[in-house]
Structure 1
Amino acid sequence: MKKQPSLDALNPFMPGAGMRPPELVGRDADIENVDRMVARTKLGNLNQGIIFSGLRGMRKTVLLLALQDASSRQGIVTARLEAKGDIGTDWDMLFHEIALATARVKSLRLRRKLASALASIDSVQFSFLGVGAGVKLSDEERRRTNPFRLELMVESLSRELAKANTGLFLFVDELQEMDDEPLGALISLQHKMGQEGLPFYIIGAGLPNLPGVLSRSRSYAERLFEYRTIGQLPDSDTAEGFQKPARANGRPFADDALDELVKVSHGYPYFIQAYGKAAWNASDSNPTLLEAVRAGEPEARRELDEGLYASRWQRAKTSGREYLTAMAKINGDEPCDSSAVAAEMGKQPKEVSMIRESLIQLGLVYSPEHGKIAYTIPGMGEFILRAAPTMGQTYDGRR
């Protein structure tokens, strides 16, 4: 007799970075928007690129993956990468992933045309750089000519793809991390391809400071993209995120249990997975009752601590942890004045400006407006006040 899988094995909820939930709820408008981009691209009409920004744990990575899959299924050539903030790595990944995307094209005829377009790039003549035609570029020459080679690559590919009534969509996660040089080159390239009427579009995702990063790189970036904020889900979508996969796997939540899950998850997609997983594992009845949800809450908090908070807390230096703790003491999880944080630490704003900047570079905080500072991770303040003292934190307020 075939052994039946355990209830734990049937658990549809799975928290984890970039892991796809069983239901991508609340993002229908974003998916429909990209479907329109695909349709317009096939008709030869121009689009803007799209920039998604939001706190960590909002499943922006999952959304990018879903959008890439949807675009690919409709015949768009897609490439995807995660920016690393290292100039060499970011350049290498751009060239590698775009070239790899062309190799995945199903049409042999089109794939050969794209391969031919790529083959000519390394030997292109950059007379103004002293590189002759037909000469293979050295490593140093490749570094100096990266922006020009990327432009040639994308323009050549886009012209061939336009003839085939398709285009190239580049999906970039953690875009705010990209090194300034390749980032600026990409924005400029998006601008030029729009002027040329060629079907190349960047669809990027990152932290709330991403729009500001793009506009500082190129002032016209605000006109090149449609900016969409990925935030908390409304209660109806949150409830669906719990109930739909639970019901599909044969063990739905009772009404009061579902109400409690909606309440404790605050509409954060990552929280839905953590609390859903814990409640499912704690349940010994069908439907899952309120008692199981409450019994699973400590395990869900542990999952969130390990999956969202602890590693990021440990990434900060002692001075950075002091700054993060001061933020939590002042205003919990809400944004607060930078000057108030300095005062809480017993210092002048100028004395802590470097600490603040280092935390921004680490992606732990961002500035929602001038003079304000906020966590990039929802619930970080609550975690610090609840759990940080057990993790070796020694900061005890003003000194």
Structure 2
Amino acid sequence: MENELLRQELNPFMPGAGMQPPELVGRERDLEIVDRMIARTKLNNLDRGIIFSGLRGVGKTVLLVKLQEMAAGKNMLTAKIESSGNPDDDYEAIFHEINLAAMKIHLVGGLKKRLGDVISNIKSMSFGAFGLSASVSRESSAQTSENPFKLELLIESITTELKKSNSGLYLFIDELQEMADEPLGTLMSIQHKMGQRSLPFYIIGAGLPNLPGVLSKSRSYAERLFEYRTIGQLSDADAAEGFQKPARRNGRPFTDDALNELIKVSSGYPYFIQAYGKAAWNASGSNPIPLQAVTKSEACARAELDDGLYSARWQRTTPPGRRYLAAMAKIGTESPSSTAEVADRLGKSTGEISMTRDKLIKLGLIYSPEYGKVAFTVPGMGEFILRAMPSDGQVYDGR
């Protein structure tokens, strides 16, 4: 029993939303791009922002956290928020995080004091409550209408000071597709203006596959404002490293046949790697970890994925939403579904189910990869739905 407990304590794998994996693999190119941005910023050369898009479970949040750490470690001023979809909350979070970053920055030449003076001066202007402090209460709608002006003034003033010290402001935004058009449009407009004024302000955002379309709809110049990066499944070689490197570092590597099976069942998704790696490690008392431990633990890994990725999303949808998702799953679990075929399976017209589709998109459960098509945002969601449905294949109104 003690050996088993010790084995679990030493387990390097841990699935979790946004948790840093023991080994970040397959993202070297993305790290290089931001490293180049930082180098250019130090030389007072301009660059574009970056947008990362992909399905859930591919490691976008983990990548943002890593990139922020890298930028902050090289004396860039960094702030990170997760969009809530509420304009007031998002503005308040941006103001607060930029202010907090300015208080923490460690640079020579009095930059910290100059940034503090900038913020104090802006706060003292007759805007009403500025919103930089976490304790500031939300005021009238007038405050909301002033937020774009306050934010532009803040960013212009801060980046003017940062440029003197060969630094820049990097704003990292997760779940960017959730952000309302205001402040989304304002942020893009500010980055556009700062570029015209040769001031180093960059948005580095992450979101679902529909994010590039959301940005383009908000501002026509979005295509030229960002470098777009699709974050997808890892290659077999990278997935193998994701399993084997931390396992070997902790003294219990996988056998070749065990590793091949793990690569197969994880499908190259970083979240799946953590779930299957954790289950196989805990299931094996041998060293190296054999194939039998992997196959024995696969049901446990799937249960962890069900709890961590699927169940809550399935349960929080309405009965019509669950029927729509079930129809998609029956059509196919891998490829996008035709909205016309979904409607046909539900015995309705596409117009009758359009509201349900839109609600599912807003919930982040599906997205539209092209006109007339819908797809799951969570890999494996279709298989989960087929497993979760009653044996008669019906989706009941009750939970």
Q: Flag whether TM exceeds 0.5 (same fold).
A: yes
Distance 2:175 2:139 in 1: 30
Counterpart of 2:133?
none
The TM-score with structure 1 as length reference comes to 0.93
Q: Does 1:342 align with 2:343?
A: yes
Gaps of 5+ in 2: 128-137
Q: Which residue of 2 aligns with 1:387?
A: 388
- Is 1:154 paired with 2:164? no
Match of 1:250 in 2: 251
Amino acid in structure 2 at the alignment position of 1:209: N
CA contact (8 A) 1:90 1:179 kept: no
Which is further off, 114-123 or 300-309? Answer: 114-123
Distance in structure 1 (CA, Å) of the matches to 2:201 and 2:247 = 40
1:153 positional shift: 0.3
- What is the SS of the residue equivalent to 1:122? helix
SS in 2 for 1:22: coil
1:98-109 → structure 2 map (5 Å cutoff): 98-107=98-107, 109=110
Q: Is the 8 A contact 1:190 1:200 kept in 2?
A: yes
Aligned mates of 2:43, 2:337 — CA distance in 1: 48
State the SS of the aligned residue for 1:6. helix
Q: Does the CA-based 8 Å contact 2:87-2:182 persist in structure 1?
A: yes
Q: Aligned runs of 1:208-287 on 2, under 5 Å?
A: 208-287=209-288
Q: Work out whether 1:358 is the aligned partner of 2:359.
A: yes
Which amino acid is the alignment partner of residue 85 of structure 1? G
In the other structure, the counterpart of 1:166 is 167
Decide which moves more: 345-354 or 100-109. 100-109
Q: Secondary structure in 2 aligned to 1:389?
A: coil
Q: Quote the offset at 1:142 in angstroms.
A: 2.4
Deviation at 1:139, TM superposition (A): 4.5
Q: What secondary structure sits across from 1:52 in the alignment?
A: strand
Q: Is the 8 A contact 2:389 2:395 kept in 1?
A: no
Report if aligned partners of 2:4, 2:285 keep a CA contact under 8 Å in 1: no
Name the CA distance, whole Å, in 1 between partners of 2:221 and 2:33.
22
Question: Does the 8 Å contact 2:324/2:356 carry over to 1?
Answer: yes
Distance 2:125 2:209 in 1: 39
Letter in 1 for 2:51: I
Distance 1:243 1:249 in 2: 10
Q: Give the superposition deviation at 1:5.
A: 7.4
Q: 1:132: which partner in 2?
A: none
Once the two structures are superposed, residues 244-275 of structure 1 have per-residue CA deviations (whole angstroms, 9 ceiling, x without a partner) of: 00000000000000000000000000000000
- Distance in structure 1 (CA, Å) of the matches to 2:354 and 2:298: 38
CA RMSD, Structure 1 to Structure 2 (Å): 1.8
Q: Quick one: distance in 2 between partners of 1:104 and 1:185?
A: 26
Give the letter aligned to residue 18 of structure 2. G
Structure 1 Cα separation of the partners of residues 374 and 147 of structure 2: 36
Q: Secondary structure at the match of 1:202?
A: strand
* Residue 28, structure 1, aligned to residue 28, structure 2: yes
1:333–1:380 CA contact under 8 A, matched in 2:
no
Partner Cα distance (2:286, 2:73) in 1: 40
Q: Distance in 1 between matches of 2:388 and 2:270?
A: 22
CA, structure 1 residues 250+310, in 2 after alignment: closer, same or farther (shift >3 Å)?
A: same
CA–CA separation in structure 2 for the residues paired with 1:59 and 1:288: 26
Matches of 2:112 and 2:142, distance apart in 1 = 28
Determine the structure 2 residue equivalent to 1:199.
200
Letter of the structure 2 residue corresponding to residue 389 of structure 1: P
1:315 deviates by 1.5
Q: 2:42 and 2:23 mapped to 1: Cα distance? A: 28
Return the alpha-carbon distance in structure 1 between the equivalents of residues 315 and 354 of structure 2: 20
The corresponding residue for 1:309 is: 310
In the other structure, the counterpart of 1:56 is 56
Matching of residues 280-295 of structure 1 within 5 Å: 280-295=281-296
Cα deviations across residues 85-136 of structure 1 (Å, max 9, x unaligned)?
Answer: 012111110111111110111137111100111112234468xxxxxxxxxx
| Residue identity matched to 1:60 | K
Report how far residue 141 of structure 1 moved.
3.5
Q: What is the match of residue 18 of structure 2?
A: 18
Q: Deviations over 1:151-198 (max 9, x none)?
A: 000000000000000000000000001122111110101111111110
State which drifts further: 137-146 or 106-115: 137-146
Give me the whole-angstrom Cα distance separating, in 2, the residues matched to 1:195 and 1:223: 13
- Aligned counterpart, 1:131: none
1:240 Cα offset (Å): 0.4
Query: Per-residue CA shift, 1:295-341, capped at 9, x if unaligned?
Result: 11010000000000001111210000000000000112320111110
Task: Give, in whole Å, the separation in 2 of the partners of 1:247 and 1:208.
Answer: 34
- What is the identity, as a one-letter code, of the residue corresponding to 1:262? I
Question: CA separation in 1, counterparts of 2:73 and 2:259?
Answer: 35
Give 2:14's aligned amino acid.
M
Gaps of 5+ in 1: 127-136
Whole-angstrom CA distance in 2 between matches of 1:103 and 1:393: 57
The answer as to whether partners of 2:78 and 2:170 remain within 8 angstroms in 1 is: yes
Q: Which residue number corresponds to residue 130 of structure 1?
A: none
Q: Post-superposition shift, 1:138? A: 6.6
Amino acid at match of 1:354: M
Mapping of 1:66-85 within 5 angstroms?
A: 66-85=66-85
Q: Percent identity?
A: 61
How many residues of Structure 1 are paired with residues of Structure 2 in the alignment? Answer: 383
Alignment of 1:180-195 (within 5 A): 180-195=181-196
The whole-number CA distance in structure 2 between the counterparts of 1:393 and 1:277 is: 32
**For the residues of structure 2 that align with 1:318 and 1:393, how far apart are their CA atoms?**
14
Shift of 1:393: 8.5
Matches within 5 A, 1:35-50: 35-50=35-50
Deviations 1:20-44 (A, max 9, x none): 1000000000001100000000000
Q: Normalising by the residue count of structure 2, what TM-score does the alignment of the two structures yield?
A: 0.93
